[in-house]
Amino acid sequence: MLKVRLPDGQVVEHADGVSALEVLRAVSAALARRAVAVKVNDRVVDVHTRLTGPQVELRALTINDPEGLEVARHSCAHVMAEALCTLWPQTKLAYGPPVDNGFYYDVELDHNLTPEDFARIEAKMAEIVREDRPFRRYELPRAEAMKKLHAEGNPFKIDNAERADGDTLSFYVTGEPGTSHFEDLCRGPHVPSTKQVGAFKVMQVAGAYWHGDAAQPMLQRVYGTTFPDKKSLDAYLAQLEEAKRRDHRRIGQELGLFTISPLVGTGLVLWKPKGAIIRHILEEQLRTELVAHGYQVVYTPHIGRLDLYRTSGHFPYYKESQYPPLYESDRARELNRLWELARAARDDQATAEELDLFNSLAQRYDDVRRGGYPQDAPAEERLRRIRTWLEQEDGYLLKPMNCPHHIQIFCSDAHSYRDLPVKLAEFGQVYRYEQSGEVGGMTRVRGFCQDDAHVFCTPEQLPGEILECVDLSKFVLELIGLNDYRVRVALRDPDSDKYIGSPENWRLAEDALRSTVHGSGLKYTEEVGEAAFYGPKIDFVARDCIGREWQLGTVQVDYNLPERFALTYVGADNAEHRPVMVHRTLFGSMERFVGILIEHFAGAFPLWLAPVQVRVCSISEKSKTYAQRVYDLCRAATLRCELDNSDERIGAKVRLATLAKVPYILVVGEMEAANNTVNVRTREGKQYGDFTLPEFLAASAREITSRGQEALAGAGQTPAVSRG
RNA sequence: GCUGCUGUAGCUCAGUGGUAGAGCGCCUCCUUGGUAAGGAGGAGGUCAUGGGUUCAAGCCCCAUCAGCAGCUCCA
């Protein structure tokens, strides 16, 4: 006999080999009907799975359980695959898993699928669902299965099978085996019947590499989703609409916050006045906070000599994602080429290409000829000589990071341990040549301004400095009300060679970060292999008001650049010591941060951040003069104010101000002019009634300085009355 | 970078080989009004760019540039 333990603790007895479905039927016919899969001892399997052993734990999964939904999504992918194969018989299926929020199926198909095809695909899927066909699993010994797959000739499925574990391979038939119904190599599990795949929708189609490998052929990835019922599908679609409605590219265009001109360049943001003011306010807030924490503000240029980045390691390590260097001369260009060749060689023997280039240069330049290029010299020596020649003429790089410049500021003075920590902050513009497919809007750009800072401190000061950075990050997140955030600790992958510096330094840095984060009480996760090439880091990940996560600031510990640049300070023992650096940004980049804020607030910025805080709307020509006076006084009180003295009617003016998401609309007519008041309406449509102008100015000033803690509505006022 | 889709007025978008369109915005005039659209008129376009096919191209083909989605990458 088999003992089956159910989730409520009940234990039922059945014959060994009974199917999970039969057990469920004995418990509840309704539950058995609703089950899309079962969980047997923590493993999700088909409801037809036969149970063996002295005792098993069994739980039915319905489509409302997250794991059941995942099974339904996987099954729905099969239904979609069948639909595709029916509509386009030449379709070759590759891989179709469930994913967050849905599923996809990668297919090879000479017809390019477009959204116009979706309705047909969905109609065919609906047909398959209506047929209420069973998902039937059968298994074949590996050799036999491989023979069958080779006979069918789908290279993707053969590949999948070769990657699968186990002595047998499983197939799922949608319908009866042996009939012409759809069949697919698949690990499962699946729902019992095609009618149980939920409320589905084909969402989009895009290219995807086989195995995510750019060298592999590009397939068509058809995305779909399915939910337990129509209502939750609609809710999901509404959420997507909401995200689209908040898209910062759309809102940025509508509200005139920023623009991108192809003539200036892809990924290069032009901040229009209304976007720039938001950034300006954020920068001011942070600068004040930084100074209070002992930071010193610096400015550095947008470019630096290549040799600076050779020392830092940024060049040519990230050459692929940098704008090409600006060479001072052809000589510099060629010497840099030689340097790159020698660097790539990393050998005691110069390559033939290297020697050819050297000889060519030696013929033209005396110092190069005199310097010579011993072909059996170690690469280090060859590199050193080339850098000597490059001292005359070199190239410049648009700076990809601010740290080398800040290091040069640190280096320009001798430092005692009494001076440390030195904390240099800059809103520093950097440039990275991101792949064209990665660029878009403000959040993914090629030129951006980091709210960057570098802390130079003693090893003993490190934990305290990390903690301060973490506190500043909290300040920034809470400043704009992103109160739901977590921390990601990014560590080195010990098996990778992309990192510079000694394992000992890495251990020190990783320990310092981990213990600080642990001690801070923040929620955090550790991720191996996500560190920067010079050190481990912690990233702040915030959740916006519709639940999306965004990576913002980062704090990175660095023992390596101080070594590369031979940074020192004099200790209490009068000996030279090496400082530790902390790189940190809080907003991340101003572009990205403001982009995220646009989406978070859906363009309706709180009063203290709103590009336009107030719009004065005159009722008629008779009140134009008074409106102008109100506008002037608002401006004089430093409110960001607009005046609508057009010939439109008040309804149209209110509508336009509302669409422009101006927080306060001041309606002024003859009555207000007579009483020296303004009639206040919000962009949400609330009418706050009449305020004297000084009352309104004082209340809005309080709202601004308190950043919304003291909102205007709290002030005493008369309720809205209709007049006419 | 790769694959696909898209590119028409300042913005959003119609326009399936035969005279370049709408709404919003803008300008002018009329209207003088009370909290989400008053009325009329007008200006504004080498249909992204460059080639090609055709008697004829916004439309078909090729290339380039740009945008979008996904993949890949990301100090």
Provide the positions of strand B that have an atom within 7 A of a protein CB.
1-5, 11-12, 25, 29-39, 65-75
Count CB neighbours of A569 within 10 A. 21
SS3 A438: helix
Output the pLDDT for position A363.
94
Contact between A538 and A554 (Cβ < 8 Å)? yes
The Å distance, CA of A550 to C1' of B22, is: 40
Residues of A 230-259 whose CB lies less than 7 Å from any atom of strand B: 249, 253-254
SS3 A285: helix
Output the pLDDT for position A724.
34
Residues of A 25-64 whose CB lies less than 7 Å from any atom of strand B: none
* Among A616, A595, A617, A612, CA closest to A661: A612
pTM over 0.80: yes
Q: Is the CB of A73 under 7 A from strand B?
A: no
The Å distance, CA of A445 to C1' of B74, is: 11
A224 Cβ partners below 8 Å, 6+ apart? A76, A77, A80, A102, A103, A104, A105, A200, A201, A202, A203
The Å distance, CA of A109 to C1' of B5, is: 16
Segments of chain A scoring below 70 in pLDDT:
177-180, 714-724
Domain-wise residue ranges, chain A: 2-62, 67-243, 273-299+402-600, 614-713
Output the pLDDT for position A716.
45
Predicted-complex ipTM score: 0.94
A481 Cβ partners below 8 Å, 6+ apart? A606
Residues of A 95-154 whose CB lies less than 7 Å from any atom of strand B: 112, 114
- Please tell me the CATH code under which domain A614-713 is placed: 3.40.50.800
Q: What's the topology of domain A67-243? A: Threonyl-tRNA Synthetase; Chain A, domain 2 (3.30.980)
Q: Which residues of A are identified as catalytic? A: 403, 432, 450, 452, 454, 537, 583
User: Which option is the CATH number for A2-62: 3.40.50.2000, 3.40.640.10, 3.10.20.30, 3.40.50.720?
Assistant: 3.10.20.30
Angle at A540 between CA A539 and CA A544, to 5 degrees: 145
Residues of A 507-546 whose CB lies less than 7 Å from any atom of strand B: 532-533
pLDDT digits (tens, 9 = 90+) for A231-276: 999 999 888 888 889 999 999 999 999 999 888 889 999 999 999 9
Q: Is the CB of A479 under 7 A from strand B?
A: no
CA distances (Å), origin A99, targets A160, A224, A357: 18, 10, 52
Output the pLDDT for position A633.
97
Report the alpha-carbon distance of residue A40 to residue A514 in Å, rounded.
38
The Å distance, CA of A462 to C1' of B75, is: 21
pLDDT more than 90, % of chain A: 66
DSSP type of residue A532:
B
Output the pLDDT for position A1.
85
Report the alpha-carbon distance of residue A714 to residue A82 in Å, rounded.
61
Chain centroid to Cα A637, Å, comes to 39
Q: Which nucleotide is closest to A670, CA to C1'?
A: B34
Output the pLDDT for position A720.
42
Count CB neighbours of A316 within 10 A. 18
Residues of A 432-451 whose CB lies less than 7 Å from any atom of strand B: 432-441
pLDDT digits (tens, 9 = 90+) for A484-505: 999 999 988 877 777 877 888 8
The Å distance, CA of A261 to C1' of B46, is: 20
Output the pLDDT for position A512.
86
Q: Is the CB of A286 under 7 A from strand B?
A: no
By C-alpha to C1' distance, B32 is nearest to A620
- Please tell me the CATH code under which domain A273-299+402-600 is placed: 3.30.930.10
Contact between A512 and A557 (Cβ < 8 Å)? yes
Q: Which nucleotide is closest to A649, CA to C1'?
A: B33
Q: Which nucleotide is closest to A113, CA to C1'?
A: B4
